[in-house]
Structure 1
């Protein structure tokens, strides 16, 4: 074999190896989620991850024909963990906001539900408006779109931030805050439970595209457009083939995909 032939053969083998490595990498994905935001994602006592986000992620992985594993991460460190390659995608009820789009890319939305205000059942607050909440303390999970919404639209209220949703729920139940802001589904499921029997939904809040964007999507590292496209195709596919509805109806009595 002459030098040119040997060089061509070596280059071909290297290219095939690179292709095989790339294909193998695409066959496995690590999904990051919080594990503390029921009914969307929750880490059960037995170590099992459950919830709408988790089931949707599993359905998308099956549609893409990739093997997915899940890891949990604190909410406020979710994007840095994605950027440092702790996982390949975030499926954790993350709003597609302009601020986050500066740090990560997003798929199309996979659901879109409004924010709401919850208060104790005996609260004198009667409306989910900035005027009615003036001078009141509102609990919210930190580093969330809901916290940003309260900061922008309820400047005359005191905003108290918590690392997890469970912690603001505990404080409103014990009278340490006057109200709480979060996704209407999260609050609705909570007030129906024994832990949330103290409280009621006061009402939903008007949307704000600057705060919430077009909905909640899957976050991907900047520049990984092929992976974004694969997820988008899979989202469209499970919407069309009925799998999305099957998962939706397991958790909710309305279509959380939204308009």
Structure 2
């Protein structure tokens, strides 16, 4: 997972993030999802099969001239710059991380160039639906509410939700969160939805992961409800913070966002995803970016017909 690079990346923005704390906090931001959904309920993946295609169009039958791209031959991707190990900019100034490296491999299967641009997560889905980007890449949980506003590919990952606190905090688990706690979230995420709608608590929302994390470190908030992957990428041993609890969330798989009316592009990306699963690229990237991570036995990426090499036979 290139931990040394990620560690340095996490440290660079802290001074800026601390200065921006008061400006970044917002208690009057729009609620993320109006219908409460408990992201920690978990789910057997059979209940998500209605969102997973039975199979995909063969790659050699995909016509890339009919994908409705903003620029012919190029995928323009909206992503984040600060959320290792999934989506971030490395020290060479390149967009990388598990999600973005997977999408690069998929674009190569389709014979497409790929360009990344940084944005805030709270704006990303709207920008995809409004065709400012062809694709949104940001470990996006595919909630029912989001499906009403944007399209998604088949799933390529699952997630955990983490609780990040200072080492000396009295909050030790999700059960300790109450109206007396100052709880950080990143605006528009499923964690925002969980705190605001499921727990019905007032969250302290921030525009990005680094700022939320910095405010845990400096004691401005008591805890941060975060995606576990991003928490693990930012929490550094010796910085006074800890991941107090991490709970698996397979209720909604993660997928790439696409304009809901652009079915040809969704179909093409689904075909490419199955292709990089079958040739071992997906598994290689999982091992590289998530070393030692356990995968739920009831979860597989791609279409229902996807062949995951480690599970074949």
Give your verdict on TM over 0.5: yes
Q: Which has the higher contact order (CA 8 A, sep 6+)?
A: 2
Q: Deviations over 1:99-129 (max 9, x none)?
A: 1111111001111111111111111223221
**DSSP-derived class of the 2:162 partner:** strand
Using the TM superposition, give the Cα deviation of residue 45 of structure 1 relative to its aligned residue in structure 2, in angstroms. Answer: 5.4
**DSSP-derived class of the 2:157 partner:** coil
Number of the residue aligned with 1:139: 184
Number of the residue aligned with 2:137: 91
Return the alpha-carbon distance in structure 2 between the equivalents of residues 113 and 207 of structure 1.
5
Q: Deviations over 1:22-47 (max 9, x none)?
A: 48966322111122212211124543
Number of the residue aligned with 2:261: 223
Return the alpha-carbon distance in structure 2 between the equivalents of residues 74 and 198 of structure 1.
27
For residues 109-124 of structure 1, the aligned pairs below 5 Å read: 109-124=155-170
Would the alpha carbon gap of residues 256 and 111 (structure 1) be closer, same or farther in structure 2, given more than 3 Å must change? farther
Would the alpha carbon gap of residues 192 and 228 (structure 1) be closer, same or farther in structure 2, given more than 3 Å must change? same
TM-score (norm 2): 0.68
**DSSP-derived class of the 1:182 partner:** strand
Q: Deviations over 1:28-84 (max 9, x none)?
A: 221111222122111245432121121011011112221111122222211222233
Would the alpha carbon gap of residues 256 and 219 (structure 1) be closer, same or farther in structure 2, given more than 3 Å must change? farther
Using the TM superposition, give the Cα deviation of residue 235 of structure 1 relative to its aligned residue in structure 2, in angstroms. Answer: 1.4
C-alpha contact (below 8 Å) 1:113/1:256 kept by paired residues? no
C-alpha contact (below 8 Å) 1:112/1:256 kept by paired residues? no
Question: How many residues of Structure 1 are paired with residues of Structure 2 in the alignment?
Answer: 232
Q: Deviations over 1:153-196 (max 9, x none)?
A: 333x44100011111111110001111111112112222356xx
Query: Which of 222, 231, 238 is 1:178 aligned to?
Result: 222
Q: Deviations over 1:206-232 (max 9, x none)?
A: 6484xxxx2110111112112111111
Structure 1 position 71 matched with structure 2 position 113: no
**DSSP-derived class of the 1:114 partner:** strand
In the TM superposition, structure 1's runs of 4+ consecutive aligned residues that sit over 4 Å from their partners are: 19-26, 255-258
TM-score (norm 1): 0.81
C-alpha contact (below 8 Å) 2:105/2:276 kept by paired residues? yes
Using the TM superposition, give the Cα deviation of residue 149 of structure 1 relative to its aligned residue in structure 2, in angstroms. Answer: 0.9
Would the alpha carbon gap of residues 167 and 183 (structure 1) be closer, same or farther in structure 2, given more than 3 Å must change? same
Number of the residue aligned with 2:211: 167
C-alpha contact (below 8 Å) 2:185/2:226 kept by paired residues? yes
Structure 1 position 234 matched with structure 2 position 272: yes
Query: Which of 212, 231, 234 is 1:187 aligned to?
Result: 231
Return the alpha-carbon distance in structure 2 between the equivalents of residues 54 and 207 of structure 1.
21
Number of the residue aligned with 1:108: 154
Q: Deviations over 1:223-246 (max 9, x none)?
A: 211211111122122122110111
Using the TM superposition, give the Cα deviation of residue 254 of structure 1 relative to its aligned residue in structure 2, in angstroms. Answer: 3.8
Structure 1 position 59 matched with structure 2 position 105: yes
> Unpaired segments of 5 or more residues in structure 2?
1-62, 300-313
Return the alpha-carbon distance in structure 2 between the equivalents of residues 22 and 225 of structure 1.
10
